[in-house]
Amino acid sequence: MMLMEISNLITPEIYEVIYRMGHLDELVIADANYSALAMSKKIVYSYAEKNHVLLAEILKYFPLDEDEEFPITVMSLDHGIFEEPQIWHDYQSVLTGLPYTNPIILNKISRKEFYQRTRNAYATIQTSEPRAMADIIIRKGFVFQ
């Protein structure tokens, strides 16, 4: 069943995950190539074909951790990739439009460190995004009433 003003990209399972996450919990939005079963404790699936579109929808309800210098993290380039993937520019476009005091920029960490962080994340949303290097970690901030 649909709800008013909630994107159909936010499935009931995704909504439950972001609702139940606490301050400083991390959420992975993973592309279709990501080995979620091997890397994640909790996995929910999305029909989203573009991770940046799903990210934009989630960030309408999900406060980023403003106390963290880098509340958004991606895996740094490797395996012969020398120019930044378009998905990173798409992510930065989403982040530029957010109403935070300081600009939000992508933190780039090694593959090994990225995978370790995903193992400790609250949950992973696996999408059907086909582009390489589209995996992203977001850290939840505090909800002020």
Determine, yes or no, domain membership for 46. yes
> CATH number, domain at 35?
3.40.1650.10
Q: What integer pLDDT is reported at residue 81 of this predicted model?
A: 67
DSSP 140: B
Determine, yes or no, domain membership for 51. yes
User: What proportion of the chain, given as a percentage, has pLDDT over 90?
Assistant: 73
Determine, yes or no, domain membership for 6. no
pLDDT tens-digit profile of 91-109? 999 999 898 888 899 999 9
Residue spans of the chain under pLDDT 50: none
In the chain, the number of structural domains is 1
Query: Amino acid identity of 135?
Result: D
Determine, yes or no, domain membership for 7. no
Determine, yes or no, domain membership for 35. yes
Residue 111's domain comprises 24-139
Sequence-distant (≥ 6) Cβ neighbours of residue 108 within 8 angstroms: 73, 74, 75, 76, 77
Determine, yes or no, domain membership for 54. yes
Determine, yes or no, domain membership for 19. no
Determine, yes or no, domain membership for 29. yes
Q: What integer pLDDT is reported at residue 134 of this predicted model?
A: 95
Q: What are phi and psi of 117, to 5 degrees?
A: -65, -40
